[in-house]
Amino acid sequence: LYPGHIPTSPLQKALLAAGSAVMALCDPYRHDMVAVLGETTGCLALTNLRDKMKNHPEGYHILQERPRIRLSTLDMTRLQGLPDGSLGREYVRFLEDNKVSPDTRMPPKFVDDEELAYVIQRYREVHDLMHTLLGMPTNMLGEVVVKWFEAIQTGLPMCVLGAAFGPVRLSTRKLQVLATELVPWAIRSGLNASCVLNVYYEQRWEQPVESLREELGIFPPP
């Protein structure tokens, strides 16, 4: 259906979902397992997301044009030159501080609809922007917080599982901060915000992060 697509039977999807869930818990560095879990369990959620996008002017645009966020499509020097506090500048800062790159996202393999494959690809590429908007780093704590937000926003079972089981590996002190401050904030923001996949980020690099937060309905991070 699309390059990289591996058709799978329902039994294979079930086995993959179970196997990848276990593997992702045992070895948190297996990002490919998290990706596989998302693809094999996300059918319903992805369809919902796609429909939300279709019904929103900006989301519809994204589905039509299918922009991809990767180092080759981003003009890093231009983004770095933008004023502090703008989406572009803060996004680049996030990438540099945490030493991550948008090119490390796995392409989908097990989604059986090529439009939905794009939706999950978009979700993965926008994940770093979520970090920027939420002001969360890429350590275990930050990732869990972002997962909570994404779980509310997307309804992807992988996010829900990640949000629920991620904290298992955190120390008690961090768990406290998580439970008392961060998660409630993430949930409130997630519920309040409009669909984050409906934002054409590539056209909004100059917009200040604060204003984008307000527009979306994300409360300021604690």
Partner 1 sequence: VYQVFESVAKKYDVMNDSMTLGIHRVWKDILMHKMNPSPGTLLLDVAGGTGDIAFRFINYVRSVREHQLQRKLKHHQNLSWQEIFESYQKDKFNSLGDSQVVVCDINREMLKVGKQKAQYLGYSEGLSWVLGNAEELPFDNAKFDVYTIAFGIRNVTRIDLALQEAYRVLKPGGRFLCLEFSHVSNPLLSRLYDLYSFQVIPVLGEVIAGDWKSYQYLVESIRRFPPQEELKAMIEDAGFFKVDYENLNFGIVAIHSGFKL
Residues that bind partner 1 (CB under 8 A): 6, 9, 11-12, 15-16, 19-20, 22-23, 30, 32-33, 36, 109
**20 vs 132, which CB is nearer to partner 1?**
20
Smallest separation (angstroms) from partner 1 to the CB of 26: 10
Query: Of 47, 31, 38, 46, which is closest to residue 17 (Cα–Cα)?
Result: 38
Residues 6+ apart with CB under 8 A from 125: 68, 69, 70, 102, 105
Closest CA to 40 of 68, 10, 70: 10
Nearer to partner 1, 38 or 190 (CB): 38
User: What φ, ψ does residue 208 adopt, rounded to 5°?
Assistant: -65, 145
By the 8 A CB rule, do 132 and 85 touch? no
Give 31 or 68: the residue with its C-beta nearer to partner 1.
31
Pairwise CA distance, residues 127 & 89, whole Å:
16
Distance CA(81)–CA(98), nearest Å, equals 19
Strands (E) across 25-96 are located at none
Minimum distance, C-beta of residue 11 to partner 1, in the bound complex (Å): 5
The whole-angstrom separation of Cα 124 and Cα 118 is 10
- In the complex, least distance from residue 24 CB atom to partner 1, rounded to whole angstroms: 10
The owner of tokens 């990706």 is 35
SS3 (DSSP) at 55: coil
- CA 125, distance to chain mean position in Å, is 7
Closest approach, Cβ 111 to partner 1, in A, equals 14
Nearer to partner 1, 53 or 158 (CB): 158
Answer whether 155's CB lies under 8 Å from 140's CB. no
To the nearest whole angstrom, how small is the minimum distance from the Cβ of residue 165 to partner 1?
A: 17
Kindly state the smallest distance separating residue 105's Cβ from partner 1, in Å: 15
